[in-house]
A and B are shown apart, each in its own frame.
Chain A
Amino acid sequence: MKSFQSGSQTRRDWLKQGGKAAALAALPGCSTRLVPVGQNTVKVGLLHSQTGTMAISETSLRDAGLLAIEEINAAGGVLGYPIEPVVEDGRSRFSDEFPRQARKLLSDEKVAAVFGCWTSSSRKAVLPLFEQLNGLLFYPVQYEGNESSKNIIYTGATPNQQILPALDWFTSAAGGSHKRFYLVGADYVYPRTANFIVKKHLESHGVSVVGEQYAALGQQDFKDIVNAIKKSDADIILSTINGDSNLGFYSVLAAQGITADRIPVLATSVGEDELRSLLPSQVQGHYSAWTYFQSLDNPQNKRFVDLWKREFGRDRVTDDPIEAAYTQVYLWKLAAEKAGSFEVDKVRKALGSLAPFDAPSGKVKIDPKTQHMYKHFRLGKVREDRQFEIVHESPDWIAPFPYPQVAFPGWKCDWTSDGLTQGEPVAI
């Protein structure tokens, strides 16, 4: 009998292959589905302000998240599922639009995780929703601490990883032994709380704060504030101004003749991405404290920067929140793979036991107790090309302490046991 053949395959081969294919096709029906029925992808949310005053900073975080997702999808996805990003715009409206979009992502889109927010106001506005609906938010920006939630993974720096080491350096001989700090910030949660910690820290080191001023988010007119700084005899400015207000602040400073030689600015929210909107003459020589700079010299960072520029253009830059926004997607992926699930509780548990991850900023890991990240501290000085020269960095990574004891005595959190332990009530 003549057998049915195609090339070198016999009919028996075809039957065998057909049988295997049928068995594989039947398998998803028998095994546990990791995503909702009718879905072939795992949805994740990206929630940033793409319009409004914070768009200058947050748009790049959306891009970083998308870049990581594109890379992961190109490599086969997570647990066999491609990631489907659901991108929403917080419109720089922290109290109404962010919670509305967060609810949409968690309730309607049923995303496995959300990567988002920049301002503490937006994070605090969505936090109750994540706790109520048991969602998982990855927050990529350095912040003021004094917060801990089981439903948030903080991948940005805490004050003890960013602001406090910077203050210590500037008050040391190496940093110029500065003694008179002027605090300028945007008028919302982060700057207010950060400055509260700063004042307590400086006070404990015998250093004085000679002035403190706040400007509304988005404000461009800084003449009065800069005049006050000039009159104050400050020898350093600590700026916690956010978003495009920095354009107004630095341009008025430069116009009033306050250069880095006279009174340096130590900024905690100005990275390479914000500098791209500023003239080099306005910012050269001033400082920023972060845990990552584009100029970091390591293979992971070189690869990351090359990828970023190849995708978005050679004139685009990376910065600390961008790096964290990129890294946190990988951390979620690794945790989901370790947990073998996209369920929030399992992923969260797995996150705390992940091996150190080689991020562009160096080795990082999530602390299971605080759900914050171990990070390096770095201090950068703005160069003429609007990149940073790293003038100081911590010898090793620094464990995160969301509640600096100098400001929040007795407060601590440990999500592996008791959760949040409240200390003395603190009025900010």
Chain B
Amino acid sequence: MFYWIYDIPIWQLAVLISGGFVLVYWIGAIFLSPILRRLVRSTAGSNDVVGYILSSFGVFYGLLLGLIAIAAHQNYTDVEEAVAKEAIALSALYQDSKAFPEPFGQNLRWLLRDYTRYVIKYAWPLQQKGVVPQGGRVRVVAFHEKLLSFEPQTSRESIIQAETLRQFNHFFECRRMRLHSITTCIPPIMWYVVGVGALINLVIVWMFDMRLITQFALGGLLSLFLGTMMFLIAAMDNPLRGEVSVTPEAFEDVHRIMMDEAY
């Protein structure tokens, strides 16, 4: 729904979310704060009551935000690991293909190189748009077909083929994990809770009986922090999208080695 946020530069996103929070708070401080204050003004020491509620609420909300930020970071790390595992499995497969007699082995290596190039040049930009790339599948099928077409002439070749097939299956699992992670994100219901919590925070602060300039300064700082936390979670969510996303560096390293060894 809010995927467009990944299409803008990271600094603009930071300004948009953090600044947006501050702006909303300031507007509320001017227009809503006088109304809300009336709700609590009848009570003596209303600021103490509001302060007590804010601190109680802040504990729960802070915990929620912290957990979600950790979850977003964990998602990011998991995807990073999945990408690294796929690149390592690809590299191992490339090494295995060198054990085949030539020119069969060379054909296998061409197919793997083609796959790696595709992942870097075509799949990654699509992933960054949240699209599951389809072109890798056909390249994987082509490699599998080629591998199965090999007819071993010796027991050594049989072992090599069996081992390469085992390695291929491992690679295939890693690839599926990466593709699965393209749509990995914090569930919308959690975003809803976080959003409602942030709004309640602002509403409570609007209830403080303070001078407008103090509202602007203190409330502004609090909303800036809330906005920054939101920005952090949003930027780290969807680990394959936006500027703060997992890069194809692991594949680029493997591709560089493949190209260096291509004679």
Chain A positions near chain B (C-beta within 8 angstroms) = 50-52, 55, 59, 63, 70, 87, 89, 276-279, 311-316
Contacts and interface: CB of A to CB of B under 8 A. Distances in A.
11 contacts: A51-B145, A55-B142, A89-B138, A276-B103, A277-B103, A313-B113, A313-B259, A313-B262, A314-B263, A315-B110, A316-B262
Interface string B248-263: 0000000000110011
Q: Which 3 A/B pairs are nearest by Cβ-Cβ distance? A: A313-B262, A89-B138, A50-B138
A59 B114 contact: yes
A414 B142 CA distance: 41
Most buried by B among A87, A277, A313: A313
A312 B110 CA distance: 8
Given A277-B107, A278-B103, A315 B262 contact: yes
Nearest to B144: A51
B120 to A, nearest CB: 11
Given A87-B138, A311-B117, A315-B110, 20 more contacts: A50-B138, A50-B139, A50-B142, A51-B138, A51-B145, A52-B145, A55-B142, A59-B114, A59-B142, A89-B138, A276-B103, A276-B107, A279-B103, A312-B110, A312-B117, A313-B259, A313-B262, A314-B259, A314-B262, A315-B263
A311 B122 CA distance: 14
Contacts of A59: 114, 142
Contact of A63 (B114, B138, B141, B258): B114
B138 A313 contact: no
Nearest to A310: B259
A217 to B, nearest CB: 15
A89 B107 CA distance: 19
Q: Dominant SS at the A interface?
A: loop
Nearest to B134: A87
Interface of B: 103-104, 106-107, 110, 113-114, 117, 121, 135, 138-139, 141-142, 145, 258-259, 262-263
A173 B101 CA distance: 41
Nearest to B113: A313
Given A59-B114, A87-B135, A315 B106 contact: yes
Nearest to A244: B149
B256 to A, nearest CB: 12
A276 B113 contact: no
B188 to A, nearest CB: 25
B142 A51 contact: yes
A397 to B, nearest CB: 32
Nearest to B141: A51
A87 B134 CA distance: 9
A41 B97 CA distance: 38
Contacts of A276: 103, 106-107
Contacts of A55: 142, 145
A70 B114 CA distance: 15
A314 B258 CA distance: 10
Contacts of B106: 276, 315
